[in-house]
Amino acid sequence: MSTLSSRERKDLRARGHTLEPVVRVGQAGIHAAVIHKIGLELHTHELIKIKLGQGAPMKAKEAAPLIAEQTGAEIVQVIGGIVLLYKERPPEDED
């Protein structure tokens, strides 16, 4: 279930418009290493684009929920082969 309001989603789509994909999924599909890379990028950037190439074994609309579930991210938008994901960075420990 989405925790983003429609206003937040709209703002994130606007921010994501100029982003370049930081993760590309190819013929090997979505596997542990790709999920790990996506998780690292989300921790660093909060808002990322993922591009699923033409050789990818699944379409972006099928892959987005799988990726979001495994990374704890929110799907902001799926257009063509591009998935825009958001995951709020946890507050840093102050210890």
Condensed to tens digits (0 to 9), the pLDDT of residues 22-46 reads 999 999 999 999 999 999 999 999 9
d(CA 59, CA 6): 24
Q: Which CATH number fits domain 6-86: 3.30.110.60, 3.40.50.300, 3.30.360.10, 2.40.30.10?
A: 3.30.110.60
pLDDT bucket at 90, cuts 50 / 70 / 90: confident
Q: How confident is the model at residue 91 (pLDDT cuts 50, 70, 90)?
A: confident
Tell me the backbone φ, ψ of residue 23, rounded to 5 degrees: -130, 135
The pTM score is 0.90
Long-range contacts of 86-91, Cβ-Cβ distance < 8 Å, separation of 24 or more = 86/4, 86/12, 86/42, 86/46, 86/47, 87/42, 87/43, 87/46, 88/46, 89/43, 89/46
